[in-house]
């Protein structure tokens, strides 16, 4: 098995949100993954950033997120599945 180093995020980065607004991300130390199927949470873990996941919805229920081996478990911040943007 070949060990590859985890990717390192590069900041700042500006992306366009679902509703067309430019959003600049400057930090990844606290991540909330909320989507309809739980794929955002899986992506966070796949990128090696699982320890930074502090919030999830109930569809993010794969074992690594639901029963984190880290010192915390990502809190459920929404009990609904989301296919549209959230407003905070």
pLDDT for res 62: 78
> Mean of the pLDDT values across residues 41-60?
87
Q: What confidence tens digit (pLDDT) does each residue in 20-38 have?
A: 999 999 999 999 888 888 8
Give the domain ranges of the chain.
28-78
pLDDT for res 22: 97
Q: What confidence tens digit (pLDDT) does each residue in 4-14 have?
A: 776 788 999 99
From the list 82, 78, 76, the residue with the least C-alpha distance to 35 is: 82
**Which residues share a beta bridge with 31?**
53
pLDDT at 18 over 50: yes
Structure-derived torsion over alpha carbons of residues 47, 17, 67, 10, reported in degrees to the nearest 10: 30
- For the entire predicted model, the pTM comes to 0.68
């Amino acid at each position: 098995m070949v060990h590859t180093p985890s990717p390192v995020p590069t900041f700042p980065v500006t992306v366009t949100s679902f509703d067309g607004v430019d959003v600049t991300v400057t930090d990844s130390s606290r991540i909330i993954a909320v989507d309809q199927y739980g794929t955002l949470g899986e992506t966070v873990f796949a990128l090696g950033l699982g320890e930074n996941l502090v919030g999830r919805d109930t569809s993010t229920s794969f074992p690594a997120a639901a029963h984190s081996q880290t010192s915390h478990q990502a809190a459920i911040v929404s009990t609904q599945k989301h296919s549209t943007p959230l407003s905070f």
